[in-house]
């Protein structure tokens, strides 16, 4: 018998690393060695921040390239990097470095940001809270999902991917503990959701629709 789903909430604490970049070459140099938590924060942290300076750019690197370097070509290339397609932070770091180095090779002139517009590397520390909510069967998710906080959606659907052995979200991990066939359609539908190019509110709504449209089978006695 599967155990209950423990609903948790979370927040990200921002920790300044004291590392800055004033131009693209400095950004390239620092990205290759900076703490992996910085890469994670600058790709995913914007989803939990109350405000995001450049909402059309999903990650901080793309936003900085557009706002401070005025390099729309680079901003567009950085903006399409999808961290959910990478198994780990080091693979994501490599793609990020490759895109930046490719842009550096195209131009002899290195654009500098103004002194007050340096890229400041920030690392995240996740703080997790137990909400006290327990869910005993997948069918209950239809009612529970709309009432989950955005922090809970982030923790269970996004952050889980770096915690679980197969890089799955917590919902799928839990559904897989039930008898074969009970949650197969739910798992397939949830696995098709891209968690990145969206907002947490939209993700919550998409999950709600999946549970409304796809009720799990009952377990056999």
d(CA 62, CA 46): 12
**pLDDT category, 108, cuts 50, 70, 90?**
confident
**pLDDT category, 114, cuts 50, 70, 90?**
confident
User: At residue 221, does pLDDT exceed 50?
Assistant: no
Supply the pLDDT for residue 216: 67
Q: How many CB atoms lie within 10 A of CB 201?
A: 11
Count Cα atoms within 13 angstroms, Cβ side, for 52.
21
* Region of poorest pLDDT, from 9-23, 29-43, 100-114: 100-114
Rounded percentage of the chain residues whose pLDDT exceeds 70 = 94
Strand runs (DSSP E) across the chain, as ranges? 5-21, 119-135
Q: Are 86 and 92 in contact (CB under 8 A)?
A: yes
Q: Which residues contact 60 (CB under 8 A, 6 or more apart)?
A: 41, 42, 43, 45, 46, 119
Q: Are 133 and 7 in contact (CB under 8 A)?
A: yes
Supply the pLDDT for residue 34: 96
Q: Are 175 and 187 in contact (CB under 8 A)?
A: yes
Q: Are 81 and 99 in contact (CB under 8 A)?
A: yes
Tell if the pTM clears 0.75, that is, is over it. yes
* Region of poorest pLDDT, from 10-24, 38-52, 74-88: 38-52
Which of 168, 176, 169 lies closest to 216, judged by CA? 176
d(CA 158, CA 215): 23
**pLDDT category, 117, cuts 50, 70, 90?**
very high
């Amino acid at each position: 018998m599967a155990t209950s789903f423990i609903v948790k909430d979370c927040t990200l604490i921002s920790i300044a690393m004291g590392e800055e970049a004033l131009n693209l070459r400095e950004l390239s140099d620092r990205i290759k060695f900076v703490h992996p938590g910085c890469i994670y924060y600058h790709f995913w942290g914007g989803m939990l921040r109350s405000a995001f300076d450049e909402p059309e750019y999903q990650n901080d690197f793309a936003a900085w390239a557009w706002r401070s370097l005025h390099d729309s070509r680079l901003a567009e290339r950085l903006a399409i990097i999808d961290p959910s397609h990478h198994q780990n932070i080091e693979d994501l770091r490599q793609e990020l470095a490759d895109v930046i180095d490719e842009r550096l090779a195209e131009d002899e002139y290195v654009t500098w940001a103004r002194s007050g517009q340096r890229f400041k590397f920030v690392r995240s520390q996740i703080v997790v809270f137990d909400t006290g909510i327990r869910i005993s069967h997948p069918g209950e998710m239809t009612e529970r999902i709309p009432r989950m906080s955005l922090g809970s959606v982030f923790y269970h659907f996004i952050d889980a991917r770096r915690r679980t052995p197969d890089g799955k979200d917590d919902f799928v991990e839990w559904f897989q503990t039930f008898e074969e066939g009970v949650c197969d359609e739910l798992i397939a539908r949830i696995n098709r959701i891209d968690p990145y190019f969206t907002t947490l509110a939209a993700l919550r709504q998409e999950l709600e629709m999946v549970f409304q449209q796809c009720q799990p089978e009952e377990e056999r006695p």
